[in-house]
Amino acid sequence: MRKQIMLFLLVFMSLTNLRAQHKEMTKHEKKEIIKLISKNLLETYIDLDVAKEMTLVINSNLKSNKYKSITNPDSFTKIINQDLQKISKDLHLKLKYDPKKIAKSNLDISEEMKIKKEKMMAMKMAEINYGFSEVKVLNGNIGYLNLRMFADTTYAKDAVTSAMDFLYNTNAVIIDLRENSGGVPSMMQLLSSYFMDVKPVVLSNFHERKTNEKTQLFSLETIDGKRMTNKPLYILTSKKTFSAAEAFTYALKHFDKAIVVGEVTKGGANRTRTINLNSDFSIAVPYIKTIHPITNSNWEGKGVQPNIKTNEKEAFVIAYIEAINKTVSINKNNILNSIGYKLLQEKSIDEAIIVFKENVKLFPEESNSWDSLGEAYFKNQDKENAFISYERALKLNPKSESAKEMIQKIKSLN
């Protein structure tokens, strides 16, 4: 019986795919889709005024024949999304053409199949360690966590606990969200709680326009492991940081629990649900507005603004230097020097130069610091700055054989 069901599903999906590949949209179908989009936006979209403006535009475009020549469903989807997002600036709002996925969602699935599907999902997330890509302690006792997704804590709770326990004894923590495109609120809630006080605080308020229902997300009173409430925290961001990753960043920034380093994030704040419009099209509609208790606003369309603005590539080394300067008071010169050389070994020459430059700024009378900077410049084929650095090193330490040797070598290359 199970084999027959699976065969039926395969045939059904194949026919759906075949139909999708050859589909051309008629004038009536386009009109119907725009009608359904308008209906759902006016009913549920977070901002009624914006919903009215969007529906006015796409209906006007339909009447003016802007969509007349478009018969390909993917092309139609693309132009509609451009028109909607031009007004809303809402990256969560998205029309999708996916008959295969809609057909799957419309099938009646047995309880047994649902359990099997959940187990498969759990296995897939476990294979990527629930997004916990890398956890390590850097030179200078700075903790580093590279988190690629905000997984459901139903499955990922132990991974969170293990990572936080591992980082507990560090002097500061860097959480890297540069490749994190979001996930679910439960991970944002749990991870935030490790850096908040025991007494629960409102992390975010939510408002659903359609029902006028208001809800709140609190930090957790009870967590496994120890809190790092007063530990210096640095969050790395990029233009790709999105959704739940932004929620975590925004909350901790405005509670003065974290310094955000990197680029302005992508800018998707509000909760979204997908509505099937018909057997071919669905639309993701933001229907619950996120409101931070301190700013009384959110990052929708604007992104989370970093405390220290820099490019994605340099965000890590800038945060690392900030953490060292904040937490290290003894032997800082040698620690920065060793960090720079580690980056040189990893072929991260530009980042090594940033570290060495910080070192000579802090310790301008240290000959070895200038010698190291000269080496990094030379590896970067910047002979002019290498020569200047080696000359400074030799002036501070006239007995430095390495500086003498490199100065002669650079002269011979000119």
Characterise 129 by phi-psi region: left (phi > 0), alpha (psi -120 to 50), beta (else): left
Q: How far is it, in rounded angstroms, from Cα 56 to Cα 41?
A: 11
Consecutive sets of 10 residues in the chain, 414 residues long: mean pLDDT of each?
46 48 83 97 97 98 95 96 95 95 81 80 90 97 98 95 98 98 96 97 97 97 96 98 97 98 97 95 97 96 97 98 97 97 97 98 97 97 97 96 95 88
Domains and CATH numbers, the chain: 2-104 (no CATH), 114-268+303-313 (3.90.226.10), 329-413 (1.25.40.10)
Could you tell me if 188 and 150 are in contact, meaning their C-beta atoms sit under 8 angstroms apart? yes
> What is the structure's pLDDT at 186?
97
Q: Which two tokens stand for residue 256?
A: 């003065």
> What is the structure's pLDDT at 351?
98
Q: How far is CA 226 from CA 36, 162, 196, 334, in A?
A: 50, 11, 11, 31
> What is the structure's pLDDT at 3?
46
Cα radius of gyration rounded to whole Å, the chain: 27
Could you tell me if 306 and 261 are in contact, meaning their C-beta atoms sit under 8 angstroms apart? yes
Helix (H, G, I), strand (E, B) or coil at 251: helix
pTM of the model: 0.88
